[in-house]
Structure 1
Amino acid sequence: MAPAMSGDWKVQFPCTRAEAEAIHEDDEWLASLDPMPSIVADEVEAFNDNKWQLNAYFAGKPTKAVIKSIHDRLASAAHVNPIVEELPDADWVVMSQQGLEPVHAGRFYVHTSSNKGSVPKGATPFLIEASRAFGTGGHETTTGCLNMLDNMKRAGKRFDVIADIGTGTGLLAFAAHRLWPKAYLTASDIDPVSVEVTADNAQVNNVPCGVSQGQLALCAAEGTAHPLIIARAPYDLVTANILAGPLIELAPSIANILRDNGSLILAGLLNTQIEAVLRAYKRQGFRLEKRTDFGDWPCLWLVKRRTYGWKRPVRATGRTSQPPGDFGTW
């Protein structure tokens, strides 16, 4: 949507996370509305999927019928009146991003164009906009993963074949490219929109896309279930910053694509979920190398133990129940 001019409107609805995601994913239904809104949704109460907020932005005043059409899809807001307001002469995208504080983690500095701040001396900056990424925002899981990658490099680790599963906006893949620029890089996400976002962000941040050495190959995939991901295995390093449930589901599949002594970074889980996640990966022969915590969010560095002799095959579909559109941490 272009910068707002006089006559742009916003309608605010309370909702649940599931309701917001359902609207976000139904592009055909959104396109049928006149005027067609741009949707931005985010959590109101941390870690509470029942306390979310949906903002619909319109170029022109929406009709009562359009507002009702959106309202009717939000069952949790049935008894709450939406808030309708005309916007001032300003860019609402920039306004919506002003609360996104830059993240400084290890040698990396992540910011939006509207809130660049002061890039620390010697830091590697990344420009990651929030306008197309559903629920995007700075997060402890991002900080943990960037710090862990930086620690690996400082420890002298070298990786030649790297995969970022559930890449979101591409940030972790970009960081890996800066640290190991000659590696073969693969980034995937269950949501095709996320792949488009990553491709755009790669261009902005001078990360070359392609399938050659030193380039970033992209694909839309459920977990590891994609010919590109499978063909490039085994990997030296895999990163997965998603959710605890999908991380547990993907343990056999990730083990199958990671080489012996390969490294795995896991994030997106809460402290209360760490034991369940670790159990799933220990069953696949992983050991915990290092753990760091940022608030309630741990980041795990696991190493796959070397296997000797015959190992019983593991049935792994490579798929996950990770919901599309769930790439909200930069």
Structure 2
Amino acid sequence: MTSTPATSRAAFAVGTETAAKLVVDILTEVFFEGQAAIAAFEGPGGRWDVTVHFAVPPDQALVRQLVTNAAGEEAAKTIVFDTVEAKDWVKATLEDLVPVPAGRFVVHGHHDRARVPSNKIGIEIEAALAFGTGHHGTTRGCLLLLDHVLKAYRPQRVLDLGTGTGVLAIAAAKALQENVLASDIDPLSVRVAQENARLNEAGHLVQAIPATGFSAPQFAQAGPFDLVLANILANPLRQLASPMARHLAPSALVILSGLLTPQAASVIAAYRARGLVPVRHLRIEGWSSLLLRNAG
């Protein structure tokens, strides 16, 4: 694996978990996947340390203003901007992470390939390729809901909307041995998802395409969908409620995530208005994952 280029970093501290989650949510809304990798960890005395790695040097004034809006001026004053020298820092971090189990699925890196139990479906993701390794609560929530769905249902037309590294598309393809359409607005994510699918011997099943929303013709060709997985963000999920509903088969199931638990009610309301009813709600590390059924 080649080294990543030098990256710009912002590090700061906030006083509470609630403030840390709000900061992460706001920064994630502003800096799309691929533009920044954001992490928050609990430090001593209840303090939360937030670190953001940027693909390109950020507008420092904008970052300070966003942190001020979310956590106050004192937190913004603690921001330190610097440059991380070129090295494979993501891979180095991944080596300290253990495989992530989620029902029948296990997300792991190359170094943990041998640790996947024979009765589980391994999904190998190299974090150096893109942000999104399966260690986030939203990814695990989606995989747990997918595992739950597949115990009683076998969808044939599956969509992974906003695929990122392709974790969910690969999981569905390997479990079902069916074709899965995967889309992302970021061309790099599309390439990464297809490469990860090949790495997981699912390249012949996963078709990754660049698309914004449901605009590409492949959606009409591959649908209507029996199952949609969308691990994005709360605002895009609300905006996609109507076009998604138009691409669903009767009784289709939808798994949504990427939203903080306080945001879940508004997302549920947006989809309920389009005829989708909530079936299951998982809460992991302050994030919500939803299972909805098309009743319209």
Q: CA deviation at 1:270?
A: 1.5
> Residues 125 and 133 of structure 2 are in contact (CA less than 8 Å); yes or no, is this contact kept in structure 1?
no
> What residue number does 1:271 align with?
261
Q: 1:288 to 1:116 in 2, by over 3 A?
A: same
Task: Number of aligned residue pairs: give it.
Answer: 263
Q: 1:163 to 1:275 in 2, by over 3 A?
A: same
Task: Give the TM-score normalised by the residue count of structure 2.
Answer: 0.76
> Residues 254 and 291 of structure 2 are in contact (CA less than 8 Å); yes or no, is this contact kept in structure 1?
yes
Alignment partner of 1:255: what SS?
helix
Question: 1:195-252: per-residue Cα shift (whole Å, max 9, x none)?
Answer: 000011011100033xxxxx22221111211111122221111111111111100000
Q: Larger helix proportion, structure 1 or 2? A: 2
Alignment partner of 1:223: what SS?
coil
Larger radius of gyration: 1
Q: CA deviation at 1:281?
A: 0.5
Question: 1:28-68: per-residue Cα shift (whole Å, max 9, x none)?
Answer: xxxxxxxxxxxx7433468xxx9543378xxxxxxxxxxxx
> What residue number does 2:2 align with?
2
Superposed, 1:1-330 pairs within 5 Å as: 2=2, 13-14=9-10, 17=27, 21=31, 41-44=37-40, 51-54=50-53, 73-75=59-61, 76=63, 82-83=81-82, 92-115=89-112, 118-134=115-131, 136=133, 138-155=135-152, 157-181=153-177, 183-209=178-204, 215-306=205-296
Q: 1:203 to 1:267 in 2, by over 3 A?
A: same
- Ranked by relative contact order (alpha carbons within 8 Å, sequence separation 6 or more), the top structure is 1
Q: 1:268 to 1:22 in 2, by over 3 A?
A: closer
CA distance in 1, matches of 2:242, 2:54: 39
Task: Compute the RMSD of aligned alpha carbons.
Answer: 3.3
The aligned amino acid for 1:96 is T
Gaps of at least 5 residues in structure 1 are 26-39, 57-69, 210-214, 307-330
CA distance in 1, matches of 2:201, 2:189: 18
Task: Give the TM-score normalised by the residue count of structure 1.
Answer: 0.69
Gaps of at least 5 residues in structure 2 are 12-22, 43-48, 65-75
Q: 1:22 to 1:174 in 2, by over 3 A?
A: closer
CA distance in 2, matches of 1:126, 1:241: 17
